[in-house]
Amino acid sequence: MRLICLNGWGGNLHDELVPYLSSSDPDILCLQEVVHTPIANEDWLIYRDHGIDLPQRANFLRDVADALPDHVAIFCPAAQGDLWHGEMRYPSQWGLATFVRKSIAVIAQAQGFVHGAFSADGYGDHPRSRTAHAIRVFDFSTGRPTVIAHMHGLRDIEGKHDTPARQAQAKRLVQLVRTVAEEGDRVIVCGDFNVLPESETFAVLKELDLVELVTTRGFTDTRTSHYAKQNRYADYMLVNPSVQIHHFDVVRQPEVSDHRPLLLEFS
């Protein structure tokens, strides 16, 4: 089974991202920073925040669904705020999504907030609400279930250091996984955690008997050339001993976001 985890950067590199996902054809895609603006006809809108204007692919969710027509899309919004086209304002939902190949059975799932709660009238103050999604799927090729969970960790304007809120979000993620996981399951947890490798987040996740793959396999960078800051870690993937790893990579090329895709082939 092939799994890709990626922060999609709001579809900012749409022309590179869509062909990559189509050609990679993952069985499961865990995608963060997903934009869903169903009333917009424009391809691009602008996110405005304290003097920053950032292009957003208006219907990023739909674009990825079109690129993966053999998949079911499950969208998990964290907030609804405003995107702009000139002076025209559009209500837009923002969150994460999981795309599952239609031939794979989703036999349990849980969606919940690891920080805050759903914001219906704006994106809110930092650190903003964050959601997570866990699915339990049945792999017919092996006759076994697998639990896959991902989150987009909260962003703190002070940096990626440990905070009580980050420790709490890790504990909530563990609780979410436990709502769908059963004894003996293969378990994979991934996402843009927005923490550094020494974070206590990973001590919390060890409660699920998980090993982190990015750092233990020698990768030192999960960001692309589109990210100019110094701390190059953000994205992680962890597995329990029941996961048989055939291939794992932090994909350098093509650059499809300011984050690199995490690619895992497993059984």
Do 100 and 135 touch, CB atoms closer than 8 A?
yes
Q: Which two tokens stand for residue 140?
A: 């017919």
d(CA 221, CA 210): 21
φ/ψ of residue 244, rounded to 5: -90, 110
User: How many CB atoms are located within 10 Å of the residue 30 CB?
Assistant: 29
Question: How much is the pLDDT for 262?
Answer: 98
In the chain, the amino acid numbered 145 is P
pLDDT tens for 244-262 read: 999 999 999 999 999 999 9
Contacting residues for 32 by C-beta, under 8 A, at least 6 apart: 6, 7, 8, 96, 150, 151, 152, 191, 192
pLDDT tens for 160-172 read: 999 999 999 999 9
Do 170 and 227 touch, CB atoms closer than 8 A?
no
Among 3.30.1490.100, 3.40.50.450, 3.60.10.10, 3.40.50.150, what is the CATH number of 2-266?
3.60.10.10
pLDDT tens for 57-116 read: 999 999 999 999 999 999 999 999 999 999 999 999 999 999 999 999 999 999 999 999
Question: Domain limits of the chain?
Answer: 2-266
d(CA 255, CA 17): 8
- Torsion sign over Cα 149, 155, 160, 162: negative
Instruction: Please give the model's pTM, rounded to 2 decimal places.
Output: 0.97
Question: How much is the pLDDT for 259?
Answer: 98
Question: How much is the pLDDT for 161?
Answer: 92
pLDDT tens for 118-152 read: 999 999 888 899 999 999 999 998 899 999 999 99
